[in-house]
Amino acid sequence: MSNPDSKIVEMHVVEHENERFYKISNNDLMRPFFMNIVSDANHWMFISSNGGLSAGRKNPDYALFPYYTDDKITEGADITGSKSIFRIKKEETTLVWEPFTERFNDKYTISRNLYKNLYGNKIMFEEILHDLGLVFRYQWNSSNKFGFVRKVELINHSDHDYDITLLDGIQNIMPFGVGSDLQNSTSNLVDAYKRSELVPDSGLGIFALSAIIVDRRRAK
């Protein structure tokens, strides 16, 4: 793991899971920048170096996350896309760790690194919690069969055993039937009509609207 007392921004080519990646160490010291993940199908993803993103198929009207300009996507990193929260019990102490959020920057000693493979179809975010010797990573890539694939791992490099409870997933998923124009013009109304359901037998999540929203500009 990197030395938290010597934080500088560097880029190297590294090996990860038998694949070569460009690694930017301490990328959080840089101003956020925009990237994309390439696909050989009709998937598209635009993602900020702080984790904020928009993604979908074909065009913006089939977005999985709200399709905004890059400044709004960057600003929405804490409410859109990947989200992981850990409750870590060490002896008699219980700690809460939420990687990649600014709220914990002054509470723990952390390092953040960014990886992108040489083909440009995988991006991986890494946060190291030096206080406990834990490393959290999540990765985005696209798949013809499964669409967008998110891969997550937690590594314990310490000599301690922890009792860890995890809340993990993605947030701010777009409901069906909301195009980019409607989202940009009436986003509060879209949030008000969002409905999320779980089909217990299959584990399938359904994201829909409880009522159809009419775009008055198109209805005239």
pLDDT tens digit sequence for 139-189: 999 888 888 999 999 999 999 999 999 999 999 999 988 888 888 888 888
User: What mean pLDDT is reported for the chain?
Assistant: 91
| pLDDT greater than 90 at residue 210 | no
Three-state SS for 16? strand
Residue 75 and residue 53 in contact, taking contact as beta carbons nearer than 8 Å: no
Please report the pLDDT score of residue 54 as a whole number: 96
- Give the tens place of pLDDT for each residue, 106-122: 899 999 999 999 999 99
Q: Considering only CA atoms, which of 114, 121, 34 is closest in space to residue 72?
A: 34
Residue 22 and residue 15 in contact, taking contact as beta carbons nearer than 8 Å: no
Helical H segments across the chain, by residue range: 70-75, 180-185, 187-193, 216-219
* ∠ Cα 200 52 131 (to 5°): 85
CA distance 102 to 98: 9
H and E: helices and strands count for the chain: 4, 14
In percent, how much of the chain has pLDDT > 70?
95
- H/E run at residue 196: strand 194-199
| pLDDT greater than 80 at residue 22 | yes
Please report the pLDDT score of residue 21 as a whole number: 97
- H/E run at residue 156: strand 147-156
CA distance 127 to 105: 11
Q: How confident is the model at residue 103 (pLDDT cuts 50, 70, 90)?
A: confident
Please report the pLDDT score of residue 77 as a whole number: 95
